[in-house]
Chains A and B, each alone.
Chain A
Amino acid sequence: MKMPENLPLRSAYLAHAAVALALVLFASMARADDLTIEITRGSDSATPIGVVPFQGSDSLSGDVARIVQDDLARSGYFDPLARDAMFARPHSADDVAFGDWRSLDVRYLLVGRREQNADGNAIRYDLLDVSGGRPILQESITVGSDHLRGAAHRISDAVFEAITDIRGAFSTRIAYVTAQGVGDNIDYGLYVADADGHNSQSVLTSNEPILSPAWSPDGKKLAYVSFENERPSIYVQQVSSGERIRLTDFDGINGAPAWSPDGRRMAMSLSRDGQPEIYLMNLADREIQRLTHNASIDTEPSWAPDGRSLVFTSDRSGGPQLYRYSLDSGQAERLTFTGQYNARGRIGPYSEQVFMVHRSKQGYQVARQDLESGRLVVLSDSTQDESPSIAPNGTMLLFATQQGGKGVLSAVSVDGRASFRLPAASGDVREPAWSPFPSSGR
């Protein structure tokens, strides 16, 4: 069956929506209410590194080394040396007295300086192996005047990969939903920000609920559910231009959009046939195909990285549990058996693990289950955790939790050893969605 190209809008809804909805399509300025980082737990196995303040970075109107240092600390893989513990502040490999840094138990050292190249401002940096006394990475990157933070994150990516062999995810972005107010007076917002919470930009604001943001695999579009017509519809919006379409307007729930890894299909949950079922929509012609058939709730689909199966939540056994639907066989098999409540599964980028919301004796927590062994490990330690979203390099998990009665974003390393929080100045923040790697650059 097909969706009509011009979706009929209920006139009453439209009139109401016109008044009720304040659509802010990508206000491009950075907001004062960026999320801030609070590191809550460092990993005891983190590698000590010295990130020396870069020479001339004041003239770049920002402390590049500080941004890099914060990135590395947040990852849980690194334990940066405090600046006031540094004996010296060298800016190039030639100036480094390796013996001094060895005595500080620093394994790696990052030094850098501003320079001019043909394109204008640039930063040259050297990553040094302290014990070997030799450089392992020496590069120069061009900095646009307004992209200092972006340049810093690219340095972090390079340093992270050179040492860990894992691609860095510091240049990625996050989407999240905000809410302020109660009852009939709640302002909802959908934002995107850098992975460290800076440079937040509004994608959509509304006084009707917004939920379930999902990135397209190329990182250029967001699908989300908006109630702006007083019922849920799935929208797809170009992040840079704000241009968008309403993808679905079926009766009942239009929810839980999830792009296929090739970006050509969207899995979703629709209740048009009575109760929520998993559907696939072919995005080119909007043809839909129903995958699940039973009288229970089937929702929260999520793709395996190879695009051949989907994990989803179903209460067909009585309470919510995760199932895996194979597109090859058309069969669903149950994945989770630990506890009475396992929902909103997300398969990690290496397909070995599924991350979910698990109800333990303590409450609702983020957990990981090894797909091979079936073993489930709780990763978070509060009682109202939800919406786990995995960094594209598989190292960190971002999720929503409560702190002081407020919704905040929190992150934990996939091994559970390091964690940090991203509180907002006001209101609730929730439903983080970690973007894929930027499509340009590789």
Chain B
Amino acid sequence: MSLPNRFSSIAASSIAGRQRTPLKPLARFFVLALAVAVTAGCSSTGGTQGGESYGDATGSNGTRGNGASTSGTGSGGQYGTDGAGRSDVGQQADSRIPEVRTIYFAFDRDTIKDEYESVVMAHARYLRTNDDAHVVLKGHTDERGTREYNLALGERRANAVKRFLRVQGVSSSRMSVVSYGEERPAVRGNDDQARGRNRRVQFSY
């Protein structure tokens, strides 16, 4: 499933901008941590991610404006355009809830796609930097199949993200998992695109 980039332009530009700066010690740590995650069998197929996959990663959650206002960061859009190229962007980002708060999954899978690993890592960074932050990982499925079985599948997805975060050094006590199964679709419709947008895990702070 490929997501259209129009959902992602703003958030993508900010993260991609950050990613293009040379690797700092912190970033190097994350690459290392990713390697650990991979060897820990954390549903990851590994591989490094460049600016390209970061761009694809966003997909956003369709609530760009909402996300920004609920996090209290003012305007996410400005951050996106102004932030690119600034040397302190990475530091700033760690004190703010990452803007991309939804990642998407393939049908019947709970594997975190390569393109979303950076998103999960941004949340790991945020959670490590902010001791009192707590995230609820909300797992969702598309509408196909039975409801209770989909609750279980949604929980599997959210748990895959939780495992990934734990390997990244986030304590389990800072995370909780709730599966909504197919009960809270992000979009209506039963074509492949709508289903792809519904198979997701949301980071809710």
Contact = CB atoms under 8 A, between A and B. Distances in A.
A and B bind: yes
Interface of A: 179, 182-184, 186, 209, 211-212, 227, 230-232, 252-253, 255-256, 269, 271, 275-276, 297, 299-300, 313, 320, 341, 343-344, 357, 359, 364, 384, 386-387, 402, 405, 431
A300 B148 contact: yes
A133 B183 CA distance: 56
Contacts of A276: 151-152, 155
B147 interface: yes
Interface in B152-169: 152-153, 155-156
Nearest to B66: A184
B149 A320 contact: yes
19 contacts: A179-B183, A182-B185, A182-B186, A183-B62, A183-B63, A184-B184, A186-B184, A209-B183, A269-B148, A269-B152, A271-B155, A276-B151, A276-B155, A297-B152, A300-B146, A320-B145, A357-B146, A384-B190, A402-B190
A211 B186 contact: no
B144 A227 contact: no
B61 to A, nearest CB: 9
Interface stretch (B7-15, B42-50, B114-122, B174-182): B174-182
A253 B179 CA distance: 7
Contacts of A431: 147
Question: Interface centre among B62, B151, B179, B187, by most A CB within 10 Å?
Answer: B151
B145 A255 contact: no
Interface in B166-205: 177-181, 183-190
A163 to B, nearest CB: 36
Contacts of B145: 320, 341, 343, 357, 359, 364, 386
Contacts of B56: none
Interface residues on B, range: 20 to 34
Contacts of A341: 145
Given A252-B177, A253-B155, A300 B149 contact: yes
A269 B183 CA distance: 17
B180 A209 contact: yes
A299 B149 contact: yes
B143 interface: yes
Contact of B148 (A231, A344, A402): A344
Contact of B187 (A182, A230, A271, A357): A182
A299 B148 contact: yes
A384 B177 CA distance: 28
Nearest to A363: B144
A405 B178 CA distance: 27
A10 B71 CA distance: 23
The 5 closest A-B pairs by CB, nearest first: A209-B183, A297-B152, A344-B146, A343-B146, A256-B148
A323 to B, nearest CB: 13
A405 B146 CA distance: 18
B158 to A, nearest CB: 10
Given A211-B148, A255-B148, A387-B147, 10 more contacts: A211-B183, A212-B147, A212-B148, A230-B178, A252-B177, A253-B151, A276-B152, A320-B149, A357-B146, A431-B147
B152 to A, nearest CB: 4
Contacts of B146: 300, 313, 320, 343-344, 357, 386-387
Given A209-B180, A227-B180, A384 B153 contact: no
A183 B145 CA distance: 19
A380 to B, nearest CB: 14
A297 B188 contact: no
Given A211-B183, A300-B146, A275 B152 contact: yes
Contacts of B156: 275, 297
Contacts of B188: 182, 405
Given A341-B145, A364-B144, A253 B184 contact: no
B151 A255 contact: yes
A431 B181 CA distance: 14
A52 B184 CA distance: 48
